[in-house]
Structure 1
Amino acid sequence: MTTTTLSEALSAARRSYASNNPNSLKAYEQATESLPGGGTRSSIFIHPFPLFIERGDGSEIIDVDGHKYLDFVSDFTSGIYGKTNPVLKKAIIEGLDNGLQLGAHTLPESSLSSELCSRFPSMHLIRFANSGTEANILAISTGLHYTGRKKVVVFEGGYHGSVLSHFGEDGGDLKVPYDFVVCPYNDITGTNSIIRKYAEEIGVIIVEPMLGAGGCIPGNPEFLQSLRELSTEIGAVLIFDEVQTARLSIGGRQKILGITPDMTTLGKFFGGGFAFGAFGGKKAIMSLFDARQPNSISHGGTFNNSPLTMIAGLTAVQHILTEENLRNLNELGDSLRENLNKVFDEEELPFKMTGLGSINQLHYTSPSQKREGLDLFFFCLLDRGYWIAQRGLVSLNFAMTNKDVKGFENAVIEAARGVKSSL
């Protein structure tokens, strides 16, 4: 094996990609004239240039060069309904007849809040926002206000939005300037030691029940339970960021594990396909926003209760995000992960898949050229008509069939074999 072999294979794959997508290249070059790097969302950039998607149907997307792909990233977990869910489409069209923006309270707003509070044990009261990022910023700030403290415990590899990531990069991201205390994920002893050092200063502990952008690494139940006990002991507010893991059951991973945080944040798919965020928690905490009370916290946001978002979200919760549908989708994801890892082990392919249910991550496990190996794998899957995140994220959606998932499973194995042959 030589390191140049993999590099040469990747270079050839990129050349083929560029020659096969001239319209995307043209669109990208035009976009760079008004957008830094040709886009406004770093997570969907592809080297050497991104594909430009023209339309979608079901679980399929079509780019500006006419190529069709089965979408196995599902807009980074938010696209759980597929591209053209008829139930949502009908509700949205009917909602349009009532007006785009009403600038006032509507009945679907309180109905959606009631539905979400009934699903998540920790959410006695809830407020809406416009993204998971915004929800996490508001939840953290609320927790600090409630406790009167300054420090925020986060975890290595954690991602709570575009300005709240903790990947250990130097200068590679932006952060809201909270007073962070960074602890090791899934390490009870190490985390306990650090937290006790700052116990009287820590107002908030925020954690993903499974690291999302950090690689789909599930939190050990014992670790998450230790955070529940420790936060209670020191008087800090424990926040579960379930922006992604809320799709693992009708009440998120907290319901599966029976661990109830003080606050929970949601986002992604609960807007029925529109921009959405929510944060909620104990009545004692969330009542700080009760405008009937003196000195209540002001929380504005023009689109917090956007009528179309409320209608779409309520429709999704009542008719699509059912216990049975979520269970079936997550079982499909568990089966995919188990089948792939079995073949990876049997054939000694340099890959593994981690995750829970319908959210998973493919990792390139060779000790050298990790970025190159995963990039080559990505292009191999594109050649076979499958779309995942370039970093390896795989997220299933309701529009997929068992046949779709089996076809993807076979394509992943073929792509992994192709990468191994270049080593």
Structure 2
Amino acid sequence: MGTKKMGADVLTPPPEIENSLALDKLKLSDQGHEGNDCTAEALATAQLLYVVSNPASRELHEEAAKSLPGGNTRSLLHNAPFPIAIKRGSGYSLISEDGHTYTDLVGELTAGLFGHSNPLIHSTLKAALDNVGLSLGATTRLESQHARLMCDRFGLDRVRFTNSGTEANMHAIQAARRYTGKRKVVVFAGGYHGAVFCFASGAPASNNVDLDDWVVAEFNNVADARAKIEGTDGVAAVLVEGMQGAGPCIVGTDDFLQAVQASARKAGAVFILDEVMTSRLAPGGLQSLVSLKPDLTSFGKYLGGGITFGAFGGRLDIMAVYDPRVANSLAHSGTFNNNTLGMSAGYVGLSQIYTPEVAVAFNKVGDDLRSKLQDASVGTKMTVTGRGSVLGIHFLKDGRKELLSVKERQDDVQLKELFGFEMLVDGFWITRRGSIALVMGTPQSELDRFVSCVKRFLKRHEKFVKL
């Protein structure tokens, strides 16, 4: 696993796998492996290799399950038969409890932009601990300087801080409801706006809040968006991602996003652009790439410098509903909204590390990587979506090269899982769903090696990857 196996053209099971008693002892899950027998056989071999190569992770998972439901406290991080446990991170690399080293292509789902040991982030956090302190229960100059920077960078009149992107969207929606006096919110199939704002299946998830207040339209469908926004009574807000992060990385077309904004304005609804994952795609966020001017924008992820963070901001008149100087304004509480670590690291990260010039250059690296991977995918079931430094790798039964909505996404689940297992063997940390968010400082040589490993994967499994 990890760098111990990098670049192998053939995955050879260790001796343990050839022992039938060992196979029985492993008790591997075969859920979701029906279908092509060749794919299933390759997947079973890869999964066996995974198990015998990560005994410490397996043991830690079994111990965690004694205290945490399923040994897990963040659903996305669960993988069958068990997740690999990471011991530490350094720069662009992760080291597992089993001693394997991986190049981090997950980037904490866009939050890990600065890597795992940026010296300026480290010194900033230490300075905050030494000179400011924790949990002061008061306002500090730190929050106002970060707020000013965000307003200038993203074109906001006012901004407020939260602890996550979920909270940012929650408070943005409540601002829209107070401002308009309405309740319904138009969202889009495949959208994800936080733990209780999920629409992956095209309908509100069962644990969503306000289940009766959502109107779900089709993503990248201008006619359906207009009909739902303009034809529904009581719409307070329209909430959309410019690129659906959980898709993963299904990009909204310029025409679609412009139409959504126009329809929201026509209907008298607040247009909320979720930039929790996409604000890193350009100096002024994705909205600056497609000439959008949302009424409110939600933020999160890297803007806390690696510390828990969320924010929402936009028009002065709408944000005024949270002004505590105004009678009957909305309350916005949160013990750690202005925590000193996030305010310090976020400010330094945005002002000194991820400057506008750096953002442009870094996203060009991502565009180049996506282009190389898409070129490699010609004639196969693999396709690559995304924008800039955030991309998604898909294995689709019909092999389409343009993916406009989750409705069009017919995954070859076995191939997707096989790819995830084998990239781990090559020393790359990626999510099973195929999300990639580049980490600053990753050498070009590692990105080129990733492209080479993907090409070898496609060649190695040519008989069931080709269209």
TM-score tier (shorter): over 0.9
- 1:143 maps to what in 2? 176
Contact 2:242–2:274 (CA<8 Å) still a contact in 1? yes
2:393 to 362, 371, 386: 362
Q: Secondary structure at the match of 1:394?
A: strand
CA-to-partner distance for each residue in 1:20-47, whole Å, 9 max, x for gaps? 0000000000001111111111111111
User: Map of 1:256-405 to 2, 5 A cutoff?
Assistant: 256-345=289-378, 348-367=379-398, 370-405=412-447
Match of 1:115 in 2: 149
**Corresponding residue of 1:411:** 453
CA distance in 2: counterparts of 1:369 and 1:261, whole angstroms: 33
- Residue 74 of structure 2 aligns with an amino acid whose one-letter code is R
Residue 169 of structure 1 deviates from its aligned partner by 7.0
TM-score of the superposed pair, with normalisation by structure 1 = 0.96
Task: Point out 4+ residue stretches in structure 1 off by more than 6 angstroms.
Answer: 169-172
| Cα distance, 1:311 vs structure 2 | 0.5
Please tell me whether the aligned partners of residues 373 and 419 of structure 1 are also in contact (alpha carbons under 8 angstroms). Answer: no
Please list the CA deviations of residues 343-387 of structure 1 after superposition, one character each: whole Å capped at 9, or x if unmatched: 211xx2220100000000000023587111100000110110001
Aligned-partner Cα distance in 2 for 1:336–1:243: 22
Contact kept in structure 2, 1:91 and 1:311, CA below 8 Å? yes
- Mapped to 1, the partners of 2:97 and 2:208 lie a distance apart of 35
The aligned length equals: 418
1:147-226 paired onto structure 2 within 5 Å: 147-168=180-201, 174-178=207-211, 179-198=213-232, 200-226=233-259
Q: Which among 7, 27, 39 is matched to residue 60 of structure 2? A: 27
Cα shift at 1:325: 1.3
State the 1:84 CA deviation: 0.4
SS in 1 for 2:110: coil
1:244 and 2:277 equivalent? yes
Task: Return the alpha-carbon distance in structure 2 between the equivalents of residues 81 and 419 of structure 1.
Answer: 35
Is the CA contact 1:108–1:310 (under 8 Å) kept in the aligned structure 2? yes
Amino acid at match of 2:135: Q
Q: Deviations over 1:36-61 (max 9, x none)?
A: 11111111111110000000100000
Distance 1:219 1:369, change over 3 A: closer
Pairing of 1:44-55 with structure 2 (within 5 A)? 44-55=77-88
Q: CA deviation at 1:215?
A: 2.2
CA distance in 2, matches of 1:378, 1:41: 19
Contact 1:148 / 1:203 at 8 angstroms: preserved in 2? yes
Once the two structures are superposed, residues 272-306 of structure 1 have per-residue CA deviations (whole angstroms, 9 ceiling, x without a partner) of: 00000001111001111111111121111000000
Measure the CA separation in 2 of the matches of 1:279 and 1:262. 11
Equivalent AA in structure 2 for residue 416 of structure 1: L
Aligned CA distance change for structure 1 residues 109 and 365 (closer, same or farther; 3 Å): same
Pairwise CA RMSD: 1.5
- How far apart in 1 are the matches of 2:205 and 2:183? 25
Aligned counterparts of 1:251 and 1:126: Cα–Cα separation in 2: 15
Q: What are the superposed Cα offsets for residues 182-201 of structure 1, whole Å, 9 maximum, x if unpaired? A: 00011101111222321x31
* Separation in 2, partners of 1:253, 1:173: 30
Structure 1: how far apart are the matches of 2:133 and 2:316? 33
Q: Which moved more, 1:98-107 or 1:277-286?
A: 98-107
Please name the residue that 2:18 is paired with: none
Shift of 1:110: 0.2
1:417 deviates by: 2.6
Distance in 1 between residues matched to 2:375 and 2:138, nearest whole Å: 54
Alignment-mate amino acid for residue 5 of structure 1: C
1:231 maps to 2:264 = yes
Distance in 2, Cα, partners of 1:58 & 1:390: 22
8 Å CA contact 2:298, 2:311 repeated in 1: yes
For the residue of structure 2 that corresponds to 1:273, the secondary structure is coil
Deviation (angstroms), 1:136: 0.5
Q: What is the CA-CA distance between 1:264 and the residue it aligns to?
A: 0.2
The match for 1:133 is 166
Q: Which amino acid aligns with 1:217?
A: I
The question of whether the paired residues in 2 share the 8 Å contact of 1:329 and 1:397 is answered with no
User: Are 1:349 and 1:417, in contact at CA under 8 Å, matched by a contact in 2?
Assistant: no
Aligned-partner SS, 1:166: coil
Q: 1:75 is matched with which residue? A: 108
Secondary structure at the counterpart of residue 61 of structure 1: strand
Alignment of 1:103 with 2:145, yes or no, is: no
Q: Distance in 1 between matches of 2:290 and 2:411?
A: 37
Gaps of 5+ in 2: 1-34, 399-409
Q: Check whether the contact 1:215–1:361 (CA below 8 A) recurs between aligned residues.
A: yes
Residue aligned with 2:289, SS: helix
CA 1:364–1:324: 2 relative to 1, 3 Å: same
